[in-house]
């Protein structure tokens, strides 16, 4: 957004398919890798790769909705990713391992920690009402909208509807995969019977709550009031970017 579009607008438009394909590959490959992980931290890392693929796809499709969604997702991802990595750190500090298969029943031992963790998990999988939902929906709707006659890609003659729809549909499967591995992780780590080796785990302390609670609050706030961010920040950025192509938003 700060380099490719302002400095090389024509090249960015001409390379749209390359970047869109890279974005879709990141979405699917990152999700599949996350789904296959046994290490909690690696799962979060691959999930981050998958979500940044939506940002790349949104930028490549060059519609108002997709670019707005990509900008929104960068902020939302910063919140959820920071929360998830910290959540992994909290449990690692107590268990001294990150093997998902060895956890279970943490919700019974650490209910406050589990509640804060679930906000981050559900925001990451795109639950409506949380920050992850808004960006993904805008990127996907904007991607399908790139097939309209008045879109930048269709006006340039560099794209076909088949290409656009194919990429957008594949990206939708990434949302399903994300929900799958996020819910699987919640079930394996937090639910189920309490394991004896974890029954004496201390609840999150004031320092840890001070870090997690604001992130959870921001995830909820952006999910409920996304227009505050969109109208104040992203609309101006999108208008400036589209002005490079002689278009108004």
DSSP label at 99?
A: B
The pLDDT value given to residue 193: 85
Mutual angle of helices 111-125 and 131-145, in 10-degree steps: 10
pLDDT band at residue 246 using 50, 70 and 90 as cut-offs: low
The pLDDT value given to residue 158: 80
Q: What token pair was written down for 237?
A: 């950025």
The pLDDT value given to residue 77: 93
The pLDDT value given to residue 86: 95
Q: Which residue has the tokens 């996020």?
A: 182
The pLDDT value given to residue 249: 45
Residue with the larger pLDDT of the pair 26 and 63: 26
DSSP label at 39?
A: B
Q: What's the mean pLDDT in 188-192? A: 90
pTM > 0.85: yes or no:
yes
Average pLDDT along the chain: 87
Cα–Cα nearest to 31, from 231, 174, 153, 163:
174
The pLDDT value given to residue 248: 46
Q: Which helix (H) or strand (E) covers residue 107, if one does?
A: helix 106-109
Contact between 75 and 229 under an 8 Å Cβ cutoff? The reply is yes
Q: What's the mean pLDDT in 185-194? A: 89
Q: What is the pLDDT of residues 123-169, one digit of tens each?
A: 999 999 999 999 999 999 999 998 888 777 887 788 788 999 999 99
The length of the chain in residues reads: 249
d(CA 235, CA 224): 18
Contact between 46 and 34 under an 8 Å Cβ cutoff? The reply is yes
Residue with the larger pLDDT of the pair 199 and 242: 199
Sign of CA dihedral 138, 53, 183, 228: negative
Q: Is the pLDDT of residue 82 over 90?
A: yes
């Amino acid at each position: 957004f700060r380099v490719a579009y302002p400095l090389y607008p024509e090249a960015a438009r001409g390379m749209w398919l390359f970047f869109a394909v890279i974005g879709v590959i990141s979405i699917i490959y990152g999700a599949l890798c996350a789904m296959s992980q046994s290490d909690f931290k690696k799962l979060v890392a691959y999930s981050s790769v998958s979500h940044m693929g939506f940002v790349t796809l949104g930028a490549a499709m060059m519609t108002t909705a997709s670019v707005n969604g990509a900008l929104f997702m960068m902020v939302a991802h910063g919140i959820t990713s920071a929360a998830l990595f910290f959540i992994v750190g909290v449990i690692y500090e107590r268990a001294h391992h990150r093997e998902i298969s060895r956890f279970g029943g943490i919700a019974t031992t650490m209910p406050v920690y589990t509640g804060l963790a679930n906000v981050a998990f559900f925001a990451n999988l795109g639950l409506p009402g949380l920050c992850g939902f808004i960006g993904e929906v805008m990127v996907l709707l904007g991607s399908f909208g790139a097939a309209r006659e008045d879109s930048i890609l269709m006006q340039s003659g560099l794209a076909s509807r088949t290409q656009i729809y194919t990429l957008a549909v594949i990206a939708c499967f990434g949302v399903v995969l994300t929900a799958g591995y996020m819910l699987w992780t919640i079930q394996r780590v937090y639910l189920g019977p309490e394991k004896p080796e974890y029954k004496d785990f201390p609840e999150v302390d004031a320092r840890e709550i001070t870090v997690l609670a604001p992130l959870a609050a921001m995830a909820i706030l952006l999910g409920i009031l996304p227009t505050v961010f969109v109208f104040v920040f992203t609309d101006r950025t999108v208008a400036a970017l589209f002005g490079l192509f002689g278009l108004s938003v």
